[in-house]
Structure 1
């Protein structure tokens, strides 16, 4: 029912009277999106009050988030620092400009690594506080920079706590190999302006690849879960002339076919997202791997994203299968020495085994609570 309402809300008045449906939509963070769709196609006065309230609440707080984003972006632009809004933030700014239909927990932005420290200082000057939401992270700027980004919060005039993620890595997943992400510099160079703002948006093919990797980072089912698949749906529908050949070539070059395949096939089946079948065929993993991952995704469930989805061992196995081959998995666990030295800032090769063990410990035991 949720999938149907996200694509077609005509004559849905009686369905919306269901308290169970409303509760399910709220749990899966799509209630305001459905309310927006209903408002588009039906008489708003006939919509039950709970749906109207969630629409208004989401519209208000997302609009305030965006106003803060534009202030930050203008300040950075005055220092010649360009900024790209990522994921849902970029979608609502430049693709699907409907705040109530784009609930979010924070704003994610991408800058070039060379501007990272300066942007950090500017955010502090703007009243932001440097702090990670996870208890597993420490407020150490050097370590945060190595990891790919920082988090900040600020209390807005209405009392809302607003979170901002500043990243120089576009995905920054612990299990995503460093060479499996396009560099921020490449993405920034190909990014496109959003009219009337200082915010920039990833080029269509880059944007689709970035949200596909982000969805894979969340194992397709972990919070925020189900609504993540709307990102692919919206980008694909926004660009009917998207260069699929270029997209597939970049996916293959980064060796992320398996991860991206499931990020595409899920919205293809849920929402009939117009992804060319040949694209799915080009990225399709081996039959045994496809069947195994599909079965585990179905067992974990696309809904109720805040429930625990995997036991630790199964999560590790699931993530390992997302690599295209065993060689890629080994490179993900043990990156080359040059990258390790740059990332962990050490010089002596004698320290390489220590930092490999340190990295392995992070992969196995950090951020596995869900």
Structure 2
């Protein structure tokens, strides 16, 4: 009898322990996701968007979904970020399409001159084009896109020479973020030098380049106020960017957790655009504080630039159409959606 009672006691105890373990697993973290990007941890997109995503996933899943952020290219260089999501090194990654040219030909429409005048506007355009054109979706079919967006409009950040006219660009070595910007800079008479944004500071400081096409948030974020003397406002182009997720990582989420992530992603493009525009204004404020001269080109001067780069746009459309891709249709839709 005692043996039977002992046996029942042990079985009961084991059941309680197993139940406790099971409850702990169910209430524990179902998904631990990694988010990789190339910006510093103080960048406004991390503080205002990625960390907001981190909090949202945690709170709305009751702690069932955790996000660990890896800034400053900790998991890979800027041009490696997309593949980090493809192969699962990172669950989610963010970077610039133009850092790996040729892979996203239609997506590069936003890199063409004079499509948008702000990151928020450009991001709305980019996300809408993705939603409307299966051909752009197909360029991202090896990942699960969360949202596409654009960086701030690129301005000319010059180390020593003010750029007040087309003629001032002649022969200058200028950092370029994309293939399309390379072509535009060549048309404008400059010498394009391709490099990620993280390399601008050192390249300006060492004289490798004379100026950089970049968003003005870099004045703060990359401390470019230390090496830049002039900023010329051109709004000539924006860089298309992505926030994408590994397919298996997304598929492994519960339906409830997918819904939380998907809901956040629906406003991701606009919220990222707003953050970048705010960062740009902060960059301009810092530039003024540091005594950097800010040059606003007159409308007739901007018109001169637009005329010079128009063949670049026509060449892109022809290249896409010759490949059987809807280049003209996508460009026309981008212009229709924009205000530029």
TM class by smaller structure: 0.3 to 0.5
Structure with more contact order per residue of length (Cα contacts < 8 Å, sep ≥ 6): 2
| Larger Rg computed on CA atoms | 2
Q: TM-score, normalised by structure 2?
A: 0.34
Choose between structure 1 and 2: higher strand proportion: 2
Q: By percentage of residues, which structure has more helix?
A: 1
The TM-score, its normalising length taken from structure 1, stands at: 0.32
